[in-house]
C-alpha cells in the first residue's frame, strides 16, 4: 500500500484544484519558504481527521479554507482527497484504490467521504487503525515529533508499538464492548429497582 494521489481544492494556499501524483519510493517536496510545502502535509493530516486547528497551524478550523490573496477572493469551502493503492488489500475494502475525502464549508458544515460515499470520521479511524497511517500515527513524523516521542511517558510511547503490532483495533473494540456492558449493567440495576418497587 502506498500513497498514490493527493488532491486539494481551496485548502490553505491551494486555492485552485491541485493534484499531486506519487509513485512508490521516495518523493521530496521542494520549494521556497512559504510556498506551501507544510500545507501539503497539513492536508494529509486534515483529511485523515485532524481536529486540532492549532496543530494545523491555525487558530480555528475555518483557517484551513483559502482566505484570499492580493489577486484572489477567499473561497467558501475546501476539500482534500487522498488516494491509497490497495492492490494488496492491506485496507479491508475490496477496491484496488481507496480514496478518503474531507470537505468543510465556512458555515461549519463538513463531511467525510470514503470512495465517494459519505461516512463518519469513526469509519475512517477504524479503516486505518493498525496501519501506521492516521492523524496521530507514526507514518507522519513532523518537526519536533522525535523529541516528543522520546520525552513522552512510557505508556504513551507504548501506543506506537501497539499500532505497529496491530492490536489497536482490538483494544478499541474491547473499550466499546466494556462501555456497552456498563450501560447494560446500569439498565439491569434499574430494572431490578423497578421490580423491587413493584413487589
34 labelled binding-site residue: yes
Q: Does residue 39 interact with ligand ATP by CB under 6 A?
A: yes
Q: Check if the beta carbon of residue 15 is closer than 8 Å to that of residue 72.
A: yes
CB of 110 to ligand ATP, least distance (A): 16
Of residues 1, 5, 20, 38, which one binds ligand ATP by CB under 6 A? Answer: 38
**Residues 143, 198: Cα–Cα separation, whole Å:** 64
Q: Does residue 36 interact with ligand ATP by CB under 6 A?
A: yes
Of residues 24, 25, 34, 144, which one binds ligand ATP by CB under 6 A? Answer: 34
Q: Does residue 35 interact with ligand ATP by CB under 6 A?
A: yes
76 labelled binding-site residue: no
32 labelled binding-site residue: yes
Q: Check if the beta carbon of residue 105 is closer than 8 Å to that of residue 76.
A: yes
Query: Which residue shows C-alpha cell 456492558?
Result: 181
39 labelled binding-site residue: yes
Query: Which residue shows C-alpha cell 484504490?
Result: 97
Measured from the CB atom, the residue of 66 and 128 that comes closer to ligand ATP is 66
Contacts of 64 (CB under 8 A, 6+ apart): 11, 12, 42, 46, 53, 56, 58, 78, 104
Residue 81 has φ and ψ, to the nearest 5°, of -130, 140
Sole window of 59-67, 134-142, 152-160, 189-197 interacting with ligand ATP (rule: CB under 6 A): 59-67
Number of residues that bind ligand ATP (CB under 6 A): 14
31 labelled binding-site residue: no
* Three-state secondary-structure class, residue 148: helix
Q: Does residue 182 interact with ligand ATP by CB under 6 A?
A: no
CB of 75 to ligand ATP, least distance (A): 9
**Three cell numbers written together for 87:** 492492490
Q: Does residue 9 interact with ligand ATP by CB under 6 A?
A: no
Sole window of 37-45, 133-141, 173-181, 185-193 interacting with ligand ATP (rule: CB under 6 A): 37-45
Residue 58 has φ and ψ, to the nearest 5°, of -125, 180
* Three-state secondary-structure class, residue 150: helix
Q: Does residue 12 interact with ligand ATP by CB under 6 A?
A: yes
Question: What element of type H or E holds 9?
Answer: strand 3-9
**Residues near ligand ATP, by CB under 6 A:** 12-13, 31, 33-39, 63, 65-67
Amino acid at each position: 500500500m502506498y500513497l498514490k494521489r493527493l488532491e486539494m481544492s481551496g485548502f490553505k494556499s491551494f486555492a485552485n484544484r491541485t493534484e499531486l501524483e506519487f509513485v512508490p519510493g521516495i518523493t521530496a517536496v521542494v520549494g521556497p519558504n512559504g510556498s506551501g510545502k507544510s500545507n501539503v502535509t497539513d492536508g494529509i493530516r486534515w483529511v485523515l481527521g485532524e481536529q486540532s486547528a492549532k496543530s494545523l497551524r491555525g487558530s480555528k478550523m475555518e483557517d484551513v479554507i483559502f482566505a484570499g490573496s492580493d489577486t484572489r477572493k477567499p473561497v467558501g469551502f475546501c476539500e482534500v482527497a487522498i488516494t491509497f493503492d490497495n492492490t494488496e488489500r492491506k485496507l479491508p475494502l475490496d477496491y484496488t484504490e481507496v480514496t478518503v475525502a474531507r470537505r468543510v464549508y465556512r458555515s461549519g458544515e463538513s463531511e467525510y467521504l470514503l470512495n465517494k460515499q459519505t461516512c463518519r470520521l469513526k469509519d475512517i479511524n477504524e479503516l486505518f487503525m493498525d496501519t501506521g497511517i492516521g492523524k496521530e500515527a507514526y507514518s507522519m513524523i513532523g518537526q519536533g515529533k522525535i523529541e516528543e516521542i522520546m520525552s513522552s511517558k512510557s505508556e504513551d510511547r507504548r501506543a506506537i508499538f501497539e499500532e505497529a503490532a496491530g492490536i489497536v483495533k482490538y483494544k478499541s473494540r474491547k473499550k466499546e464492548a466494556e462501555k456497552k456492558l456498563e450501560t447494560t449493567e446500569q439498565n439491569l440495576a434499574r430494572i431490578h429497582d423497578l421490580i423491587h418497587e413493584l413487589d
